[in-house]
Amino acid sequence: MTFNKTLLLAPVAAFIMSVGTAQAATNAQVTITGQIAAATCDLNVTNSNIDLGTVVSSDVTVAGPIATTSKDFTLNLSNCTQDGETGTVVSMLSKGTALAANTNYFNNVDGGTVGVQLTANGQAVKPNASTPLTALAGEVLTAGGSAQVLMNAQLNSTVAKPATQQIEAPITFSVAYN
């Protein structure tokens, strides 16, 4: 009989001990962003998934741009909200994770030594920075108007013969003029 009482009391004791145990709460983080501008335009990209291909490490003999990976694409501006004036500066904000080894390039994979180098109309585009689109300086954007920005993406290595790695660079573009 003593054995049966022990078996019956064991679950009750375990329950009583667990009642006082605190449960860890999970936290949530939200990033909220916004921007105030004199005017802006809608954006559309000709190709939202750009594959720069696979490069053999031993083919990267020096640090720098990997020319064989260069790909062009177009960023289309449309539905601009108001007329610009002569001298209006059109700027593009590019949000994305910078490569830790060189913050001029995009790559959100930890520990990488290769990133994505972007240009807009031949001008360097850096992560989380505003780039004046000087090629549009001569154009006066009108309400409802449109324009095109010629973009280029290519891999850029910070070392010769980089280790095997993934490169991933989700980038969000926005355009404003003032």
What confidence tens digit (pLDDT) does each residue in 124-166 have? 999 999 998 876 655 556 777 788 899 999 999 999 999 999 9
Q: What is the pLDDT of residue 60?
A: 96
Q: Which residue has the higher pLDDT, 167 or 83?
A: 167
Tell me, what amino acid is at 28? A
Domain count for the chain: 1
Predicted TM-score (pTM) of this structure: 0.75
What was the pLDDT predicted at 35?
72
**% of the chain at pLDDT higher than 70:** 78
Q: How confident is the model at residue 11 (pLDDT cuts 50, 70, 90)?
A: low
In a domain, 33, yes or no: no
What CATH number did the domain enclosing 65 receive? 2.60.40.1090
Question: How does residue 40 score in pLDDT terms, banded at 50, 70 and 90?
Answer: confident
Domain annotation covers residue 100: yes
36 located within any domain: no
Least confident of 17-21, 98-102, 117-121: 17-21
- Structural domain harbouring 70: 42-177
Burial class of residue 116 in the structure, from the number of CB atoms within 10 Å of its CB (0-12 exposed, 13-18 middle, 19+ buried): buried
Q: What pLDDT is attached to residue 42? A: 87
Give residue 44's pLDDT.
Answer: 92
Establish if 130 belongs to a structural domain.
yes
Terminal Cα distance for the chain, rounded: 88
Contacts of 122 (CB under 8 A, 6+ apart): 135, 150, 152
In this prediction, residue 83 carries a pLDDT of 64
Any domain includes 29: no
Closest CA to 80 of 133, 126, 33: 133
89 occurs within a structural domain: yes
Per the domain annotation, does 20 fall within a domain? no
**Is 145 inside a domain boundary?**
yes
Radius of gyration of the chain (CA): 26
**Tell me, what's the pLDDT at 89?**
75
Query: Measured between alpha carbons, how far is residue 133 from residues 93, 125, 136, 178 in Å?
Result: 10, 10, 6, 12
